[in-house]
Structure 1
Amino acid sequence: MIPEEDDSLTPRPPRRWWHLAAVDVTPLRRHRDFRLLFVSRFVSFFGSMITTVAFPYQVYQLTHSVLLVGALGVLEFGAILAFAFLGGALADARDRRSMVLLSEAALMGCSLLLAGNAALAQPQVWLLFIVATAWGLFDALQRPSLDAMLPRLVDTDELAAAAALGSIRSTLGQILGPALGGVLIAAFGLSVTYLVDVGTFLVGLASLGMMRAVPPPVDAERPSFRRVIEGLRYARSRQELIGTYVVDMVAMFFGMPLALFPAIAQNLGGARVLGLLYAAPAVGSFLFSATSGWTNRVHRHGLGVIVAATIWGVAIIGFGLSPVLWAALFFLGLAGAADMMSGVFRSVIWNQTIPDSLRGRLAAIEMLSYTSGPALGNFEAGVVASIFSVRVSVVSGGVLCVIACVLCAAALPLFRAYDARLYHLAPDPRPDSVKRENQ
């Protein structure tokens, strides 16, 4: 038998810088269900981003209150807070694909309700707040199953690439959705805009329906309060997880200006400018994601999250001080790139440190962390703007974001020092009897 040649001794040509930076599409090429999920989330999220522009715009047009626009986020977060742990427990005990499907259908119903309300001669403001609450409820039931599915669809060494692809998917939606949303509102009105979202939900549901089932672990127990506490204890025992939650929450709480966009756009050109403001962070996110190949060679993910959150705060300060539209869009783009950098590194930490038996419940905690900051931050921004001014609200929020990131870096040394090369999965928190049955 002829021995195989040792490739390790064969010199290889150096890789070009653009090869090192280019996004890794291996998960899309290798895994059918990941492709279907990618298509479903891209189309559905694209439509949701259209509604994300239309929804606060409609509230502001009906009430002329930035405080009430911010209250939308508080109601949505309140529902997420109430149902997130139920969604996490169900994700660890039920078929995850089915949970995503059912929640997606319910969210489509919310958009149908918005379209019907917008078609009325006098749209009802109270109904908008009910829909915001329902939106949070169904999102809380869907997101843990959605997040917990990913490690079951790709290989472990493809997690960073899958996270980057998910970032590209979401940022494309954030770019195209708000931009189209502003055009649709100006050209056809709010009811048609919401109906476009309904159409994207139908495409997303069809793609999800073609996926194979993603059943829970074989030793899954029924959802219970004890199971929720088990997940909370595990999260508390891992400072690297606590760091991902806290840093993102404080950055978004102090530096989230989205609730102020309708008021800012009112002075800059109306609905079309509003779409640009919403799309600008997504452009930055997309540019980062499209050149994210280098993230596979980063191992200090905790430090990366802290640096990214600090850059976000600096960019928000620049946005608040911008005298012209192009400068404001530039700093929003920089903020979006920093947010995506943080998201990629946080996703890798989560998927490296959480056992499959706990992924649903820990995904619920993750969801609370990355939704609570923006939801409460939008309300905080509205309160400060109503007391002082829009500019004071944006700039002061960015300054407090930077200060909070520095304090987090000092208070969380294990998170700051996290190195994926030295990581070892923590002991499985399940009882020994359960683990023996699964062997």
Structure 2
Amino acid sequence: MSPEETPTPVDPVEGAGKVAEPVAKRRGWAIDTEPLKNKAFRRLFGGIAATMLGQQMTLVAVPYQVFKVTHSSLLVGVTSMVALIPLIVFGLLGGAIADAMDRRRLMLITSAGSAVTSALLAVQAALPGDGNLVVLWVLTACVSGFAAVNQPTRGAVIPALVGPAGVPGANALSMTVRQAGVIVGPLIAGVLIGTGSLFLCYTVDALGFLVALLLLRGLPALPPGHDAGPLRLGAAVRGVWDGFTFLRTQPVLLMTFVVDICAMLFAWPQAVFPELSATRFAGSENALGWLFAGISIGALLMGLTSGWVSRVDRQGAVVLGAIVAWGLAIIGFGFAPALWLAVFCLAVAGAADMVSAVLRTSMLQLAAPEDMRGRMQGVFIVVVAGGPRLGDLRAGALASATSVGVAMVSGGVIVVLAMVLFAFLVPSFWYFRASRSAR
């Protein structure tokens, strides 16, 4: 079923019997703000905005603290793997749970858990000493587990709130505000870390989740699809299997996961940022903060001019082209001798990734039926968040064995060649058109 033919879902805010008004197609380049006219989406969007700053500060603070304790880029990469295991387990189960219980309630539970975990990170940072690696790993795993359930649940409710035509615009808004947080958060975190204030980094994160809790409480009930069964662990596990069974019947959607895994596995640069800030760019002010912010600078600029993205018809070809641009930018980053050039390359990579992410998310949300949407978002979150963690391990290990330049340049080359290969091996993805898509 094409997006234009998809039935408009009931709007739970406006009440039974009413539907979410279709969002008109915009012709400008400016970001589409029409979804913000929906009161429920404004609350969801506000919750996302409230948590982005603190979350990104924590994502800088944890690897910095691990590197400070261990002086090892490899263990920074291992920390990402510690986060990957609960992300996979709870991301998949969380998507199945989101298809079997009230999604508003699930978002409240996971937001509360995230607030408590961030508060514990703040407590350990306030204690004497640099910290304890095991404690950091345990809390990192908890952060990842709560996020793995919360994020697919948030994604699953978007089509029901804004209607099919509003999905690309709503995704662009959510991703853009996230990128704003990823820019500002690392810069603030870099300043606070430089003054020895890790405690404040984690505290801001905890406070953000408290604000999100207040906003999410105002949402109406968001029940799962009509085919959902009772919430039991066995049913959730079977639901995960059903999700993968459905995905195997959708080769184009499967490829949206494959291309992203490839891009993140071979060309995600974050694990080498602490080493670069302490070596190649040691003489540059707040190098750590600027490196962490670089990708999101480009993503934010692209998001603010993303009005054209919702009009893309050849979505598969544009996704492949965007990922090729990502790979080329990472190659440039690996060679960059100065901080400003490295940040510029990361910004180009971020802009390309923003295009890819918006299109892949929209394809998935519109193609999945309502009672399968949570599980598809669960798989999506595992891929989107798990790929960079695998990439951290690869980059950290290769950088330790050779150099940062080798780790980044080789990965970028592999990504570019892989996208060309995918275009030939899976022509259905290359020729995919949104106007002809079928569910």
TM-score, shorter chain, exceeding 0.5: yes
What is the distance in 2 between the residues matched to 1:407 and 1:75?
32
How far the C-alpha of 1:306 sits from its partner, in A, is 0.8
- Indicate the residue corresponding to 1:262 in structure 2: 274
What is the distance in 2 between the residues matched to 1:222 and 1:250?
36
Asked if residue 103 in structure 1 is aligned to residue 117 in structure 2, the reply is no
Write the letter of the residue equivalent to 2:403: S
- Indicate the residue corresponding to 2:68 in structure 1: 61
Asked if residue 295 in structure 1 is aligned to residue 309 in structure 2, the reply is yes
Q: How does 1:30-429 map to 2 (within 5 A)?
A: 31-122=38-129, 123-223=131-231, 224=235, 225-267=237-279, 268-269=281-282, 272-425=286-439
Contact 1:111 1:194 in 2 (8 A): yes
Contact 1:23 1:164 in 2 (8 A): yes
- Indicate the residue corresponding to 1:429 in structure 2: none
After alignment, is 259-268 or 405-414 more displaced? 405-414
How far the C-alpha of 1:42 sits from its partner, in A, is 0.9
Write the letter of the residue equivalent to 2:361: S
- 1:312-355 per-position Cα deviation (integer Å, ceiling 9, x unaligned): 00000000111111111110000000110100110111122110
What is the distance in 2 between the residues matched to 1:92 and 1:53?
33
What is the distance in 2 between the residues matched to 1:246 and 1:102?
31
- Indicate the residue corresponding to 2:18 in structure 1: none
- 1:100-130 per-position Cα deviation (integer Å, ceiling 9, x unaligned): 1111111111111111111111321110011
What 5-or-longer segments of structure 1 have no aligned partner? 1-17, 426-439
Contact 2:314 2:432 in 1 (8 A): yes
Contact 2:226 2:371 in 1 (8 A): no
How far the C-alpha of 1:176 sits from its partner, in A, is 0.9
Q: Highest CA radius of gyration, 1 or 2? A: 1
How far the C-alpha of 1:19 sits from its partner, in A, is 6.4
SS in 1 for 2:313: coil
What 5-or-longer segments of structure 2 have no aligned partner? 1-25
What is the distance in 2 between the residues matched to 1:324 and 1:188?
26
- 1:359-390 per-position Cα deviation (integer Å, ceiling 9, x unaligned): 01111111121122101000000110111011
Aligned residues: 407
How far the C-alpha of 1:218 sits from its partner, in A, is 2.8
How far the C-alpha of 1:227 sits from its partner, in A, is 2.4
What is the distance in 1 between the residues matched to 2:185 and 2:125?
19
Contact 2:114 2:206 in 1 (8 A): no
What is the distance in 2 between the residues matched to 1:188 and 1:41?
28
How far the C-alpha of 1:57 sits from its partner, in A, is 0.5
What is the RMSD of the two structures over their aligned residues, measured on CA atoms?
Answer: 1.5
Q: Which runs of 4+ in 1 moved over 6 A?
A: none
How far the C-alpha of 1:424 sits from its partner, in A, is 2.3
SS in 2 for 1:20: coil
SS in 1 for 2:101: coil
What is the distance in 1 between the residues matched to 2:34 and 2:105?
26
Contact 1:306 1:416 in 2 (8 A): yes
What is the distance in 1 between the residues matched to 2:221 and 2:140?
30
What is the distance in 2 between the residues matched to 1:283 and 1:230?
38
- 1:244-279 per-position Cα deviation (integer Å, ceiling 9, x unaligned): 000000000000010110110112247821111111
SS in 1 for 2:195: helix
What is the distance in 2 between the residues matched to 1:265 and 1:95?
45
Write the letter of the residue equivalent to 1:265: S
Contact 2:314 2:431 in 1 (8 A): yes
- Indicate the residue corresponding to 2:5 in structure 1: none
SS in 2 for 1:21: coil
How far the C-alpha of 1:407 sits from its partner, in A, is 1.9
What is the distance in 1 between the residues matched to 2:380 and 2:36?
25
What is the distance in 1 between the residues matched to 2:139 and 2:420?
38
What is the distance in 2 between the residues matched to 1:21 and 1:233?
38
